[in-house]
Amino acid sequence: MLTICAALCTALLAGNFFAFSAFFLRALGGLTAERGIVAMQATVAAIKAPAFLVLFFGTALLCLALGATALFNWREAHAHFAFAGAALFLIGGFAVTLLRSVPLNNVLLAASPDAEDARDQWRRYRRAWLRWNHVRAVTTLLACTCFMLALAEIGMPF
């Protein structure tokens, strides 16, 4: 059951990260720096909604539990995929968010949209944030894939 939940949760998060990489940040990049900064500041504030936070931190807890369970069942074929999926999300999705995306967001939240250097701040933010978001999108999708492979190994159709 943990593996099914982890697969579903990482699929949702991978989709979220993909949307930001594929079109959302590009759309904001088409705005003036002032409007782009204000829009992203509003997005950063909105992402702190309980639904997203429960999904994000809940997925991390699921992955911790699944990774530990996989270590105890290491001789079973599915354990390798489950552990890999847990590690991919915890490092590439969860840790990258906390160590890279959140600090960048905090700098943006403190930025003044009408400052003289707003255009440069916005350009630097978008470049750095998007790079790390690509990492989150790819690793979270790979984590989901690993969980689905673990399910296939134990004979669960998906």
Mean pLDDT by 10 residues, the chain (158 residues): 96 98 95 96 96 98 98 95 99 99 97 94 97 99 98 83
> What pLDDT is stored for residue 107 in this prediction?
96
Q: Which of 135, 139, 128, 136 is nearest to 105 (CA)?
A: 128
pLDDT attached to residue 156: 77
In SS3 terms, 111-133 reads as CCCCCCCHHHHHHHHHHHHHHHH
- What's the pLDDT at 155? 87
Kindly report the pTM of this predicted structure: 0.94
